């Protein structure tokens, strides 16, 4: 029979839940324990569930950054605020000519509770409680949606912003006010992100950046003062840059075959097109049959949308990709890569393919950070540089802006550049090129 969370001492069962090490000092104990008052294992299993759930709730509250008392005060303030907002601020007179006001009575109850908190917890806790309960504090949960509605970001980025804010409110409390997020409190949360969350450094930076952007907006609307997230140090350790893939890694990818038939051929084709053209994954997945043009010098791909204006471009098809293009054109589907189900906040056709590519890399042994599909684009650019193709030409092929150059960026649009000649220079060496052709 199940003995999880149970210990038996002196012929009596107790329920025990261990407190995670980082929270033991805050909890003031190493474990939560409660005697169940029975020597029957079956009965102990019946009785333990309430206490297990309660202990886990208390641990979760501690992990959010406050004590059990902090969470209780936040919830109590929210209850008082709701009671005040629903009370009528109208004076009445009873039969004995006593005047009474429902709102004033609730307010008196609130003031009495605030004095009680002042005596027990101090002036800061009492002020936070009173301001939150009376609406003098501006609750973060009442403001952040307005920011999300206004920011000009793609759906996936907005979704990340929202999850970031909700995580912070989960740590600070659902009724956290903007005024109580001081620089000290922001610093405590940054420490939690860096040390206890398990996030990669880049992910922690993204969370702080989202919160800082929100606070800049709040300040601009006159809702917040100084931005407490600015200048929060995240350490000097640098995340590794994405680099080109080695020949060994390329061979593993090119010779491998994804275990799921649904995506096996798709991944094989996308891998080769990316290496030979330097295109982004979503650009390739979004290609329609109408975006493939056959001209006198061969096939061209028309990229009609992208992250920037420069991403909208026309690139010649490498000779080794012609067979892939012609095979896929035989399918009468609207898209060159038929049957890709859109997914994610932005309904990208590459959403599930990107995840499948990650699993494929694991299967063939190309693991490690920064070796995702985008690394193929880095590999293409690095190879073109090694082949001494001018940077301004490579930018035209991969869809990078040339504005940094006054000569080619301002005066020339690249109309006379022989892009076909440039794309035909792509060469990864005999062994890799042989694998691409296979």
| Two structure tokens written together for 107 | 């307010």
| Two structure tokens written together for 228 | 């407490």
* Segment holding 50, helix H or strand E: helix 41-63
Q: For residues 240 and 296, which has the higher predicted lDDT (pLDDT)? A: 296
Where residue 60 falls (left for φ over 0; alpha for ψ -120 to 50; beta otherwise) is: alpha
Query: How, if at all, do strands 313-316 and 298-303 pair?
Result: antiparallel
Query: How, if at all, do strands 91-93 and 31-35 pair?
Result: unpaired
Instruction: Tell me the per-residue pLDDT of 376-411, one tens digit each, with 9 for 90 and over.
Output: 999 999 999 999 999 999 999 999 887 766 556 555
Q: What average pLDDT score do residues 204-215 get?
A: 92
- At residue 410, the pLDDT reads 54
- At residue 204, the pLDDT reads 87
Per-residue confidence band for 319, with pLDDT thresholds at 50, 70 and 90: very high
> Which residue is it, tokens 């990818």?
253
CB 266 within 8 A of CB 308: no
Q: For residues 316 and 19, which has the higher predicted lDDT (pLDDT)? A: 316
Flag the least confident range among 75-89, 109-123, 164-178. Answer: 75-89
* 3-class state of residue 93 by DSSP: strand
Flag the least confident range among 60-69, 150-159, 209-218. Answer: 60-69
Residues of the chain with CATH 1.10.443.10: 247-437
Q: For residues 304 and 285, which has the higher predicted lDDT (pLDDT)? A: 285
CB 376 within 8 A of CB 432: no
Q: What average pLDDT score do residues 32-49 get?
A: 84
Q: How many Å apart are CA 296 and CA 293, to the nearest integer?
A: 10
Indicate the average pLDDT of the chain: 84
CA separation, residue 332 to residues 116, 298, 328, 329, 434 (Å):
75, 21, 9, 7, 30
> Which residue is it, tokens 């890799």?
432
The percentage of residues in the chain with a pLDDT greater than 70, rounded to a whole number, is 85
Q: Which residues face 17 on adjacent strands?
A: 32
The CATH number that domain 140-220 falls under is: 1.10.150
* 3-class state of residue 315 by DSSP: strand
Pick the CATH number of 247-437 from 1.20.120.1200, 3.40.50.2300, 1.10.443.10, 1.10.260.40: 1.10.443.10
Instruction: Tell me the per-residue pLDDT of 124-152, one tens digit each, with 9 for 90 and over.
Output: 777 777 777 776 777 788 788 889 888 76
Residue among 313, 337, 335 nearest 423 (CA): 313
Q: Is the pLDDT of residue 50 over 70?
A: no
- At residue 89, the pLDDT reads 67
- At residue 413, the pLDDT reads 66
The percentage of residues in the chain with a pLDDT greater than 90, rounded to a whole number, is 38
Q: For residues 346 and 247, which has the higher predicted lDDT (pLDDT)? A: 247
> Which residue is it, tokens 């969470």?
71
Cα–Cα–Cα angle for 41, 42, 46, nearest 5°? 110
Residues of the chain with CATH 1.10.150: 140-220
- At residue 105, the pLDDT reads 79
Task: Please state the pTM of the whole predicted model.
Answer: 0.54
* 3-class state of residue 229 by DSSP: coil
Q: How many Å apart are CA 12 and CA 6, to the nearest integer?
A: 10
Per-residue confidence band for 90, with pLDDT thresholds at 50, 70 and 90: low
Per-residue confidence band for 93, with pLDDT thresholds at 50, 70 and 90: low
Q: Identify which of 2-16, 94-108, 238-252 has the greatest average pLDDT.
A: 2-16
């Amino acid at each position: 029979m199940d003995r999880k969370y149970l210990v038996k001492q002196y012929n009596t069962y107790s329920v025990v839940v261990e407190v995670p090490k980082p929270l033991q000092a805050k909890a003031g104990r190493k474990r939560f324990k409660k005697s169940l008052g029975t020597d029957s294992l079956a009965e102990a299993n019946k009785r333990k569930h309430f206490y297990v759930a309660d202990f886990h709730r208390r641990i979760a509250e501690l992990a959010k950054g406050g004590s059990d008392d902090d969470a209780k005060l936040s919830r109590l303030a929210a209850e008082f605020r709701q009671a005040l907002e629903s009370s009528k601020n109208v004076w009445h007179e009873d039969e004995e000519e006593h005047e009474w006001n429902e709102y004033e009575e609730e307010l008196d109850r609130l003031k009495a509770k605030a004095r009680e908190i002042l005596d027990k917890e101090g002036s800061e806790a009492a002020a936070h409680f009173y301001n939150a309960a009376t609406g003098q504090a501006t609750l973060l949960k009442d403001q952040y949606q307005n920011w999300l509605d206004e920011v000009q970001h793609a759906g996936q980025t907005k979704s990340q912003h929202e999850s970031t804010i909700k995580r912070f409110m989960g740590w600070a409390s659902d009724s956290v006010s903007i005024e109580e997020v001081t620089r000290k409190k922001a610093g405590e949360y940054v420490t939690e992100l860096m040390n206890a969350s398990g996030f990669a450094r880049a992910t922690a930076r993204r969370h702080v950046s989202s919160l800082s952007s929100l606070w800049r907006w709040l300040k601009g609307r006159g809702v917040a003062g100084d931005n407490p997230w600015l200048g929060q140090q995240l350490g000097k350790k640098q995340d590794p840059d994405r680099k080109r893939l080695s020949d060994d890694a390329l061979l593993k990818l090119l010779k491998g075959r994804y275990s799921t038939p649904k995506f096996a051929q798709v991944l094989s084709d996308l891998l080769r097109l990316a290496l030979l053209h330097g295109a982004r994954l979503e650009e390739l997945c979004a290609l329609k049959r109408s975006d493939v043009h056959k001209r006198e010098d061969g096939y061209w791909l028309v990229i009609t949308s992208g992250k920037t204006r420069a991403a909208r471009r026309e690139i010649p098809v490498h000779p080794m990709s012609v067979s892939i293009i012609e095979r896929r054109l035989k399918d009468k589907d609207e898209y060159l890569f038929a049957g890709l189900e859109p997914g994610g906040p932005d309904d990208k056709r590459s959403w599930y393919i990107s995840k499948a590519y990650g699993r494929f890399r694991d299967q063939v042994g190309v693991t490690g950070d920064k070796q995702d599909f985008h690394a193929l684009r880095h590999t293409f650019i690095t190879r073109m540089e090694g082949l001494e193709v001018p940077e301004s030409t490579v930018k035209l092929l991969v869809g990078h802006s040339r504005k940094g150059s006054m000569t080619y960026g301002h005066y020339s649009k690249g109309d006379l550049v022989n892009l076909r000649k440039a794309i035909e220079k792509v060469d990864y060496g005999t062994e890799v090129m042989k694998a691409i052709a296979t």
